A and B are shown apart, each in its own frame.
Chain A
Amino acid sequence: MAVIRDVMPDFKLVQPNSITGAQKVLEQQGENGWVLAGGMDSFDWLKDRIKKPKVVVDLSGIEELKGVRTTADGIEIGAMTTLTEVVQHPAIREKYKLLADSAELVASPQIRNQGTLGGNVSQDARCWYYRGGWPCYRAGGNICYADTPEGRNREHAILNADRCVAVNPSDSAPALIALDAKFVIRTSKGERVVDAEDYFIGPEIDITRLHILKPGDLLTTIRIPSTWAGAQFYFEKVRDRNVWDFPLLNVASAMVVSSGSIERLRIAVNGAAARPLRLKVVEDAVRGKPPNASTGEMAGKLAVQGAVPLQFNAYKIPLMRNLVKRAIGGVQEATWTS
């Protein structure tokens, strides 16, 4: 896709100052409406003329969607809170550092200054065939260009692929799953609260969306309960460049260890499938075992069971195995510094 250096095609810009106002417009517009949060994902689509919404609803004027609040049981983060605010917030750094660690590794400083937490978990897939405007399954067509012998699929899925092999690119999503976060969604029928892991869907449920939001729905708040506050956290992101890049794979885990054995663990991996994967089988298998390399080894092998590589992404299987191992058994190797 050639890069078009021109103003975006015309759209109607609506700038509501309440959730109710935004939702009303989005409901009226249905498929013609577009939710604009930070815009870091949206503008690519609009500038390249691949998505052509008639009405863009800018959420940046809605104060009730912004900020971090302490609640009786944990914290509440407005969906329009920027990633920089998430990284710097004292309560998040103190008790839920896993989220700050993941948000800090997103893209570049300027993007974190504008990109929002709600946008980071709701962003679309990065498969370049899809983003290049090819009429693939995800775009409503009936072919996958990445899953072919010649397809460039180094970044694509190793697990749970179903026709489409694109992966979810979010860094904060696995951290929120590991922290057992709840997502609050405003729909036309009222408020709905779902577990973080249930916010994301694979192609077997809907091949054109990475999350459960339907036209007219809004993600308003992310709640993090105190269940995992202050636990032992691990976040690691592997990418081609140290800035700007989406994860090839990432892992997020929260672990509570008592008297030398793992009392409980919550772990999720992203970049491996169309949705961030919570590794329940690993969580169950390591309970009561010491958090060391051999437990990690066992967990890593379990994690990649059933993985099917494409032509160019077989490296993701040992990578995922090792990330899970490091999350549980710790990092023995010398840390890399530049």
Chain B
Amino acid sequence: MTENDDAKMIEPPQSGLTRRDLIKGVILGGVAISSSSYLFRASTLAAQTSRGTGDRLLTINVNGQQRRADVMKQETLAWTLRHKLGLTGTKLGCDRAECGSCTVLIDGVPHYSCSVLTHTVRDKKVLTIEGLASPDGALHPVQQGVIDEQGFQCAFCMPGFIMAAVAFLKANPDPTRMELAQGLSGNLCRCQDYDKILTAMMRGAENMRSASRA
């Protein structure tokens, strides 16, 4: 999308604002502009009832919020999340379903968001790393486990690992280290920091168990 290309070319300001804040700000602004241009077309869009008849303006449920975005037919969920909704916590590593850094939960199930068309998740609930902490700011037990154990090195793969772990631990609250490794085997860490990651995730599992007891 052109607004994103523009965003990357803008010089970072000298003070205050970080590069990340600036890019996210510009992305969100771009979405607002591009969505508003569609608003006046709402009546024609509402007339189209069957699935996939050509409307690009979507409302998708992300992290419990109804988010509107202008989505191309061939657009992947990772692209929409990062470039249209400003949710840059979801990382794009390989873009080929081979690394796991784009893992998000769709109806509670981990998927590679680089390999899901956004138009196929219209009726579903998407959860990204941004939606994991509770509204009061308390971290998810798995996130807390990562901090407690300093689980990651560069942490580019971390959001994907955490999302995969959250879903796995929900179904298997008390895994062995080996079982957890199997459960997280769809995620790669290029720093080869697996041992520490597993320790952190095991701590996360422990945190989840004590949180559910409390």
Contacts and interface: CB of A to CB of B under 8 A. Distances in A.
B92 A5 contact: yes
Interface in A197-250: 242-244
A309 B97 CA distance: 32
B74 A3 contact: no
A327 to B, nearest CB: 24
Nearest to A61: B51
9 A-B pairs closest in CB distance: A108-B186, A15-B52, A13-B73, A243-B185, A8-B74, A110-B186, A15-B51, A109-B186, A43-B115
A13 B73 CA distance: 6
B112 A111 contact: yes
27 contacts: A3-B95, A5-B95, A7-B74, A7-B75, A7-B76, A9-B74, A13-B74, A13-B117, A13-B119, A15-B51, A15-B52, A15-B119, A15-B120, A16-B52, A17-B50, A43-B76, A43-B114, A46-B74, A58-B117, A108-B186, A109-B183, A110-B164, A111-B112, A111-B186, A114-B111, A242-B185, A244-B186
A114 B96 contact: no
B109 interface: yes
B88 to A, nearest CB: 15
A5 B51 CA distance: 28
A43 B72 contact: no
Nearest to A11: B74
Interface string A44-76: 101100000000101011000000000000000
Contacts of B204: none
Give the interface residue-count category, chain A. Answer: 35 or more
Nearest to B123: A61
Interface string A81-93: 0001000000000
B94 interface: yes
A58 B111 contact: no
B110 A7 contact: no
Given A11-B73, A40-B115, A58-B52, A47 B100 contact: no
A114 B116 contact: yes
Given A7-B72, A8-B74, A60-B120, 7 more contacts: A5-B95, A15-B52, A46-B74, A61-B120, A110-B97, A111-B112, A114-B111
A37 B178 CA distance: 32
A110 B74 CA distance: 21
Contacts, number: 95
A10 interface: yes
Contacts of B178: 338
A108 B112 CA distance: 10
B97 to A, nearest CB: 6
A110 B110 contact: yes
A47 B78 CA distance: 14
Contacts of B95: 3, 5, 47
Contacts of A10: 72-74
A66 to B, nearest CB: 14
Nearest to B92: A5
B22 to A, nearest CB: 22
B174 interface: no
A5 B100 CA distance: 16
A113 B117 CA distance: 15
A240 to B, nearest CB: 14
A109 B96 contact: no
Contacts of B50: 17
Contact of A39 (B73, B98, B115, B183): B115
Most buried by B among A10, A58, A84, A110: A110
A192 interface: no
Nearest to B1: A7
Interface in B171-191: 178, 183-186
A307 interface: no
A109 to B, nearest CB: 4
A338 B182 CA distance: 11
Contacts of B100: 108, 110
Contacts of A189: none
A186 B104 CA distance: 34
A17 B51 contact: yes
B23 to A, nearest CB: 17
Given A12-B73, A13-B73, A40 B97 contact: yes
B52 A14 contact: yes
A131 B125 CA distance: 34
B132 to A, nearest CB: 17
Contacts of B74: 7-11, 13, 46, 56
Nearest to B168: A109
Interface string B99-137: 010010000011110111101100000000000000000
B152 interface: no
B115 A243 contact: no
B111 A108 contact: no
